[in-house]
C-alpha cells in the first residue's frame, strides 16, 4: 500500500474514532479517560488490520503442503528430511538430497546463510566449526573458501561419503527440483532481510515451479513478513520453541536451558521470550498470514495441535529421530515430523 493510501486510511480512521469519542462523552458526561482508551484501542485495531497480510488461498496451501497438511486424508503425516536427513548423509548437502530421495523422502528441509561476498549457501550453524575442520563464522568466508571445505570429514560414515562440498542455495534447490522434491526453506538471515528476499525472488523467477513446491520458515517473523509482502502467494511457516531468544538450546526441561547471553542482556532476552510467545499465539500468526507452525516436539499436545488446526494452520514437530516417537506423532497425534533420518 502506498504512503498516500496509508495516510488516507489513518486519517479516516482517526476521524471516525474521534466522532465516537465525542459522542460517548456527550451522552455519558463522564469517564472521559475510558473513552480515550477505547479510541486508542480502535485506532490500533485499524492500523493492525491495515498492516495485516492476507493468508494464501487455502486451495493453494493445500496443493503445496499435500500430505503434510492438517486437512490431508491420510491416516498419518509424512516425514520431512531435516537438513537433508543429516544422520544419513552430510547435512544440508546435495548428496543428502540424493540419499534422502533413495530412502523415500518427498520433502527436504534446509537452511539458508550468506557468505562474506553475499552468496546464499545451505548451512545451518553460525560457524563452520561443528561439521568442518575449519573455524570461524560462516559470514567471514567467501563462497570460494566455503566450497573448499569438506563436509564428509567429520561425518560418521566416511567410507560412504568422501568429498562433500557446501552447496549454494541455487545448486541445492536445482537438485531438489530435478528430483521432484518439495522443500522447506529455513531462513537464518535475520540481519539481511533485503538480501534474503532478493535471493528468494531470484529463485522464484529462475524456477517457476518453486512456489508450488516450497514453504518458507524462520524463527524471525520480520523475514516472513518481508517475504509475504513481496510475494503474497508464498506459503510461510514460523519455527518456534520456548526460550529461543534467551537460550541457545532447550529440550523440554529447565536443566536443558543454555543461556545465550549474560547479565542485563540475558534478562532483557527473557523478557522478550515472555512477550513473544503470547504475541505469536494471538497476533503474529494472523499478521503474517502463516500456514504452518514448526515447533519443538516437547511442546506438542493434542490441545496445541487442535488450537492451530482450528485456525487452518498445520503443526509440524521437530526434531523427531526416535522410531517410537515418530510413530506416536504420526499415528496418534497425526502430524508430520522433521527428522534427521529417514529410518522408520
Q: Which residues pair with 313 in a beta bridge?
A: none
- pLDDT of 111: 98
Residues 6+ apart with CB under 8 A from 257: 243, 247, 249, 250
pLDDT per position as a tens digit, 112-167: 999 999 999 999 999 999 999 999 999 999 999 999 999 999 998 878 899 999 99
- pLDDT of 157: 83
- pLDDT of 187: 97
Kind of pairing, strands 337-339 and 182-187? unpaired
- pLDDT of 233: 95
Burial string for 153-188 (b: 16+ CB within 10 Å, else e) reads bebeeeeebeebbbbbbbebbbbbbeeebbbbbbbb
- pLDDT of 39: 67
- pLDDT of 255: 85
DSSP calls for 99-148? HHHHTT--EEEEEEEE-TTS-EEE--SSBSTTTSS--SBGGGS-HHHHHT
- pLDDT of 13: 64
- pLDDT of 319: 96
pLDDT per position as a tens digit, 245-289: 999 989 888 888 899 999 999 999 999 999 999 999 988 999 999
What the block records as the C-alpha cell of 140 is: 567471514
Cα distance between residue 179 and residue 173, in whole Å: 10
> Where do we find the cell 484501542?
41
Secondary structure of residue 1 in the 3-state scheme:
coil
- List the chain residues with pLDDT less than 70: 1-14, 16-17, 19-39, 71-77
- pLDDT of 322: 94
Residues 6+ apart with CB under 8 A from 247: 257, 258, 259, 260
Amino acid at each position: 500500500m502506498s504512503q498516500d493510501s496509508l495516510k488516507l486510511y489513518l486519517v479516516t480512521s482517526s476521524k471516525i474514532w474521534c466522532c465516537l469519542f465525542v459522542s460517548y462523552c456527550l451522552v455519558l458526561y463522564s469517564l472521559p479517560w475510558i473513552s480515550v482508551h477505547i479510541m486508542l484501542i480502535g485506532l490500533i485495531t485499524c492500523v493492525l488490520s491495515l498492516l495485516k497480510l492476507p493468508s494464501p488461498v487455502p486451495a493453494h496451501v493445500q496443493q503445496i503442503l499435500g500430505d503434510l497438511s492438517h486437512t490431508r486424508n491420510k491416516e498419518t503425516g509424512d516425514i520431512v528430511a531435516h537438513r537433508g536427513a543429516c544422520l544419513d548423509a552430510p547435512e544440508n548437502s546435495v548428496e543428502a538430497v540424493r540419499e534422502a530421495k533413495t530412502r523415500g523422502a518427498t520433502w527436504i528441509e534446509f537452511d539458508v546463510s550468506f557468505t562474506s561476498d553475499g552468496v546464499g549457501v545451505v548451512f545451518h550453524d553460525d560457524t563452520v566449526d561443528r561439521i568442518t575442520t575449519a573455524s570461524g563464522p560462516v559470514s567471514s568466508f567467501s563462497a570460494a573458501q566455503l566450497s573448499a571445505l569438506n563436509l564428509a570429514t567429520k561425518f560418521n560414515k566416511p567410507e560412504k561419503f568422501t568429498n562433500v562440498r557446501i552447496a549454494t542455495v541455487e545448486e541445492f534447490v536445482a537438485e531438489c527440483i530435478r528430483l521432484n522434491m518439495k522443500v522447506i526453506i529455513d531462513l537464518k538471515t535475520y540481519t539481511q532481510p533485503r538480501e534474503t528476499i532478493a535471493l528468494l525472488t531470484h529463485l522464484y523467477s529462475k524456477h517457476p515451479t518453486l512456489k508450488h513446491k516450497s514453504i518458507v520458515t524462520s524463527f524471525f517473523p520480520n523475514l516472513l513478513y518481508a517475504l509475504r509482502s513481496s510475494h503474497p502467494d508464498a506459503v510461510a511457516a514460523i519455527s518456534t520453541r520456548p526460550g529461543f531468544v534467551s537460550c541457545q538450546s532447550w529440550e523440554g526441561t529447565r536443566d536443558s536451558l543454555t543461556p545465550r547471553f549474560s547479565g542485563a542482556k540475558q534478562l532483557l532476552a527473557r523478557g522478550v521470550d515472555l512477550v513473544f510467545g503470547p504475541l505469536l499465539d494471538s497476533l503474529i500468526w494472523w499478521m503474517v498470514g502463516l500456514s504452518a507452525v514448526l515447533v519443538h516436539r516437547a511442546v506438542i499436545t493434542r490441545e496445541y495441535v487442535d488450537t492451530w488446526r482450528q485456525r487452518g494452520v498445520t503443526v509440524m514437530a521437530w526434531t523427531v529421530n526416535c522410531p517410537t516417537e515418530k510413530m506416536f506423532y504420526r499415528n496418534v497425534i497425526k502430524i508430520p515430523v522433521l527428522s534427521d533420518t529417514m529410518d522408520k
